Chain A
Amino acid sequence: MSTTADLHIHNPVEDVLRKERIPTIWCPGCGIGTTVNSFAAALLGQDIDLKKTAIVSGIGCSGRVSGYMALDSFHTTHGRAIPFATGLKLANPELNVIVYSGDGDLTSIGGNHLIHAARRNMDIMVVCVNNMIYAMTGGQAAATTPGNSITTTSPFGSFEPEICLPQLVDAAGAVFVARWTAYHVKQLERTMAKALKKKGFRFIEVLTPCPTLYQRRNNMGDGLAAMVDYKNRSKIRNGAPTYEVALEPGGEIVVGEFVDREREDYLTRMRRQLGTNYSELPPQPEEEEQEGCCSSC
């Protein structure tokens, strides 16, 4: 404990950050840090045992989030945060397991795992930082890149349709699906807090600006301009059917909590269905076996 009087104003979220690792690698105006603030506040606002909370990321700018949180932090491989998190959860169901990663990581290279974790209703919470680009590698087109965007691999404008993540995970079986933007810090915090308390596969998409590699190339200004844009374009529609929330270039950004339902999670269902075929402990012998003296004497 520090004995000197704190001269700077203590920001409570610092308690869940690895302060010694700050400054972060993120660029000025990057939206990732904004989402982390909301996340940290959400964590602190709950009676969650932080010692039993693990955060798992894949690879990417967003994939660095796990490494700034003062939790059990796992920075895994590109696309595989969800299966790693699945392993953590299965071997220690007491853990709160959060996956925090990028759009490319979770939905493209890791898209199959996303679908199947949602289908299994694995009890993990997934935060997808959607900056609509592969940022870490220098701004290539992603499955989330809005049509006709300039990226390094689509220099004449991208022409692939973009994926609608809430609809995808909804269809796959997620019990909680929400979307906010980096502008909606308070709403995001509240949604994250709610999701932290829920059981089952929870998915939160957060649209964030990547001024360095996406906004700038597409004449969208800096991080601040992105906030203004999010503010103007977004419309809160809690409970909106997820087939109505697809993002259109320049169009409305539907935000809110879209899905919040109950479904038995993986482990609960496993235990119920296995019944007497499952036991937490191996069958114990009736009596303690009397240990003789060691075999070497």
Chain B
Amino acid sequence: MMHADPNCVLTGTHFMNGDAACCEGAIAAGARFAAGYPITPSTEVVERFAARVPKIGGIFIQMEDELAASITLQGMVWAGAKSFTVTSGPGYSLMMEHIGFAAMTETPCVFVNVQRGGPSTGLPTLPAQGDMMQARFGSHGDYSTISLVPNSPQECFSLTVKAFNLAEKFRVPVMFMMDECVGHMTEKVVIPDAKEIEVTPRRHASKPPSEFLLFEPGEELVPEMAHAGEGYKVYVTGLTHDKRGYPLMNPASQKELIPRLFEKISRAADELTIVESEGLEDADVVVVSYGITSRVAQRAIEMARAKGLKVGKLRLICVWPFPEKLIRELAPKVKALVMPELNMGQVVIELERCAGGQCKVISVPHPGGTVHKPADILAAIERGAQ
């Protein structure tokens, strides 16, 4: 296990916003390179990065658009760096093709999306959670990836580190799904000692070039990686490829590759069930939420408990992969699952699927622009408890 570089980590107690904390998390995780394109409300992340990294051997480049940024970062990764990009709404849409490229080429990297109201230009300065399905399915073709959702500036730090670590471990693009509220909110952020920050190193080729196959599934079905300039003559393509990385376009090679890209994540379902829960044991109603909405939901839960209702809390920190097993176990034990989201009902579709008709599933949609009124969530809890 490696640790963060003490010369680069901003250890201490800070009062900073989520965007700044995300930047510090990326630096702590070992990112020294990033490519981006300005867009509200995410720009502060790269503005800070641009000021921080030249002094520690890094480079931020502002590209001509998000199409460029989302692939430049992958060039950086294949040259040996840890890298990421940061965007919002329209920019995220432009990045979709390259999220698929990263999934296909198993390029470990992080895409930060500070979600704002949409569709289109929507609400540039106000929060939403409308890109959750896009995070899961946005690029064409079928792939699996990981999405983490922070609910505070503190988590913007710690979960950004985690996002980079998971990206390295599974060799996938990890979606870091912030929102405008969390990104622009300022709170206490404690950045620990570098010694306490675990950093997952790259799974680097352990064999010499003559014996090495770039896409041979290794431990945990994840291949090892060699970089440009190391003498491995890597061959990386977005086409369906064989273990050497060579294009091999037929149903058999598709069948060998694509299910593995899913399985390397699905077999780690337990590790990737990252949730915060409380009072599930005897709950009649469980409020399932993620991101900023989970804080508002917490208030509604407290209001409901004050009224004598038995309400549990389940906060999804990792939304994709969805904690399917957990929901399947929970659903038969409760009367209802209530899911508030700052969208018209996205992740609730998955919740409903996993609940499998074993309990009521109540969506509390919200078009975004602000957060829910706790009273609206409370009303749904009350309906669920009946």
Contacts and interface: CB of A to CB of B under 8 A. Distances in A.
Contacts of B73: 87
A80 interface: yes
B94 to A, nearest CB: 11
A277 B55 contact: yes
A130 to B, nearest CB: 22
A37 interface: no
Interface string B33-74: 101000000000000000000111101010111011101111
Contacts of A295: 195
A74 B102 CA distance: 13
Nearest to A87: B75
Contact of B35 (A56, A87, A282): A87
Interface string A83-125: 1111111111011000000000000000011011000000000
Interface residues of A, number: 47
B75 A279 contact: no
B67 A83 contact: yes
A67 B72 contact: no
A18 B83 CA distance: 30
A77 B55 contact: no
B235 A73 contact: yes
Given A82-B68, A91-B77, A281-B56, 10 more contacts: A72-B228, A73-B235, A74-B75, A74-B78, A76-B238, A77-B97, A86-B72, A87-B79, A91-B81, A112-B65
Contacts of A67: 235, 237, 246-247
B239 A83 contact: no
Q: Interface size class for chain B?
A: 35 or more
A91 B7 contact: no
A282 to B, nearest CB: 4
B296 interface: no
Contacts of A77: 71, 97-98, 101, 238
B135 interface: no
Contacts of A84: 71-72, 74-75
A18 B64 CA distance: 34
Interface of A: 18, 21, 51-52, 54, 56, 67, 70-77, 79-80, 82-92, 94-95, 112-113, 115-116, 270, 274, 277-285, 289, 295
Given A86-B75, A88-B76, A88-B79, A282 B57 contact: yes
Contacts, number: 153
Contact of B228 (A18, A92, A113, A274): A92
A83 B67 CA distance: 9
A95 B229 contact: yes
A240 B33 CA distance: 40
Given A75-B237, A285-B7, A88 B78 contact: yes
Contact of B5 (A82, A94, A282): A282
A108 to B, nearest CB: 13
A73 B234 contact: yes
Contacts of A51: 229-231
Contact of A282 (B56, B69, B97): B56
A72 B238 CA distance: 15
Contacts of B83: 87, 91
27 contacts: A51-B229, A67-B235, A67-B246, A75-B247, A77-B71, A77-B101, A79-B67, A80-B67, A80-B71, A84-B71, A86-B68, A88-B75, A88-B79, A88-B228, A90-B33, A90-B59, A91-B79, A94-B229, A95-B79, A112-B68, A280-B57, A282-B8, A282-B57, A283-B7, A285-B7, A289-B6, A295-B195
